[in-house]
Every structure is written in structure tokens, then in C-alpha cells.
Amino acid sequence: MPFLDSLNWRFAAKHFSSDKKVSAEDLDTVLEAIRMAPTSFGMQPFHAYVVSNKDVLKELRAASFDQAQVEESSYYIVFAARTDGVDRVDEHIEALAAGDPEKLASLEKMRSIRKKSLSKKSPEELVTWARNQVYIALGFALAAAAELRIDSCPMEGFLPAEYAKILQMPDTLIPAVSLALGYRKEGPERPKFRFSNEDLFTHVS
């Protein structure tokens, strides 16, 4: 299926059908797309909650200005930005070394450069940096879902502090954006609109 056909097919679904559920296999493909998304320094400074529990979805809907697609989704993915960027450097380096002391030694320079770079950021800047990575993962998930002909709705319309409470997130996570997955109950409210190429792009050739 040509990629652009998939992008034209998708839209931000407001209601999902209760007759058809996204399969566990397709969910795994979307999660793998999230895992494979590129991130700054390759550090993947996010964590995602994959919610299918009906009671929890109901609570999340209430914390999302009553948006129905939250509760009607087969799976609702809540992306949270990690606030512990500097500690994440250590986790990343240890994981890259995979217990090999020689590899670990060869990664020490990288550790120090990355720690220095991230330590220069204020706590707010670190969260912004982590959030930026979350949105790349969201984009990959949206594209993967469309390729699988799974409907979706990316969402920011929720109360982050409420989400953190409902999902019992640790203090090191801040809910940033979410993605509802399911099968459309109805078509889009209006035709797809996008600004023109002239509006969006300047070629410097």
C-alpha cells in the first residue's frame, strides 16, 4: 500500500466501533514502530502506558473533557515524557555496553559528553527535550496504524496531572500526548484540509 495513500486514508477518529477490536498482533506492530522511532542521542526518554482496561479508560475519558474516543478505543496509548534525562544517560550507556567492561570503557567519553550536554539544560528544557522525542514516536505510531488500516486519534486534550494520578505514574514521568486506536464508527466530520506546499515549504536549491 503506497505510504501516501495510508496518510490520506487516516483521520483523527472521534468515535470507534464497538464491533471490531484491534488485534494484539497489530498492537504489537504499532508498539514496535514506537520503539523503532529515532530519538535524540537514541535515548528514548519516554514511557508509554497501553491501556485497555475499561474502568481505567472510563476514568481517563473523564479526565479528557469527555472525549468519547478514549473510552471507545481498543487500546489507548498514553505517552509520558521522562524528566530524568541525565540518569537516563547512565541507563543508556549500561544497556549499550551489555555487561562488557571493554565496551563500557569505550563508551565513557560518550557518557560524559551527553551528561554535560543535558546537564546544561534547565529542568523545563529537559522536559521539552523529552517531549520532543515523544512526538516523533507518536508520528511513527500514527503512520504504522494507518499502514495497518487501524484508525486512530492523536490527543492532547486531557488533564496531565489527572492522567498521572489515574495511571499511578512515578514523579519522573509527565503525560504528554496520547493515541487512541480502534476502528472508525463513522467517517471524518469534514474533508481533510492541509495548507499548500507554497505555504509550508521553501526550496533553497
Q: Which residues bind ligand FMN (CB under 6 A)?
A: 11-12, 14, 67, 153-157, 177, 188, 192
Nearer to ligand FMN, 165 or 192 (CB): 192
Q: How far apart are CA 63 and CA 68, in angstroms?
A: 11
* Cβ nearer to ligand FMN, comparing 22 with 155: 155
In the complex, minimum distance from the CB of residue 160 to ligand FMN, in angstroms, rounded to a whole number: 12
Quote the least distance from Cβ 73 to ligand FMN, whole Å: 12
Chain residue at closest Cβ approach to ligand FMN? 157
Q: How far is the CB of 110 from ligand FMN (least distance, A)?
A: 32
At its nearest, how many Å lie between ligand FMN and the CB of residue 93? 31
- Whole-number Å distance between alpha carbons of 33 and 147: 11
SS3 state of residue 46: strand
Phi first, then psi: give them for residue 78, nearest 5 degrees.
Answer: -105, 115
* Angle at alpha carbon of residue 102, lines to 100 and 106, rounded to 5°: 115
If one counts every other C-beta atom within 10 angstroms of the C-beta of residue 66, the result is 10
Sign of CA dihedral 59, 63, 65, 71: negative
Q: CA angle at residue 17 from 13 to 23, to 5 degrees?
A: 95
Measured from the CB atom, is 73 or 83 closer to ligand FMN?
A: 73
The residue (of 11 and 41) whose beta carbon lies closer to ligand FMN is 11
Q: Which is nearer to ligand FMN, 83 or 178 (CB)?
A: 178
Smallest separation (angstroms) from ligand FMN to the CB of 58:
17
Residue 58 CA to residue 2 CA, distance in Å, equals 36
